[in-house]
Amino acid sequence: MSRLYYFVVFLILTSCKTEPNKDVYDEVLKEASQFDSDSLITFFEFRDTVAINQNISGEIKYNLGLDVKLTNIDKRYTFFYVTTEKEALDIESIKSTNHNIFIDTVGNGTFYFNTKFTNFGNNLLNGVFEDIIYLKGITKDGKVKIVKKYTNISKDVFVKR
């Protein structure tokens, strides 16, 4: 009797493999797209008036709340692209300009950055956060799914002589 019991338990355990629910991850992606930049930027410090051709430091805190429902994170990379050359409409427009890239190496979303303005008068500090999350083992064929989120920021800066 005990052998039959163990055999039945073995069959139940091996046959009750659960597949990840695709709807849960689609819901997370939908929620991620609903975040606005005000909720994703929790702290931003940069001077309003700066001198020309000086390296100016700033600090910005990016909210890592995108992954609240993700329990399956394998790796996460967060980059902050900064430029002073033109208005940043998207990640590709910043990549096509002279820009600096800062990486969240600690994993807390805080970026200490610096930049330099080369034009007098009214300027814009433009930046884009690129948040890349790799999820493991959520497709039936074992491929990794990637969740990406882009957040733009801009700040008016006056550059004096």
Pick the more confident residue, 22 or 146. Answer: 146
What pLDDT score does 26 carry? 53
What pLDDT score does 157 carry? 96
pLDDT of residue 110 exceeding 60, the answer is: yes
What pLDDT score does 47 carry? 95
CATH architecture of 19-160: Sandwich (2.60)
Pick the more confident residue, 20 or 154. Answer: 154
- HEC profile of the chain: CHHHHHHHHHHHHHHCCCCCCHHHHHHHHHHHHHCCHHHHEEEEECCCEEECCCEEEEEEEECCHHHCCCCCEEEEEEEEEEECCCCCCCHHHHHCCCCEEEECCCCCCEEEEEEECCCCEEEEEEEEEEEEEEECCCCCCCCCEEEEEEEEEEEEEEEEC
pLDDT of residue 14 exceeding 50, the answer is: no
Percent of the chain with pLDDT over 90: 41
Single pTM value for the model: 0.72
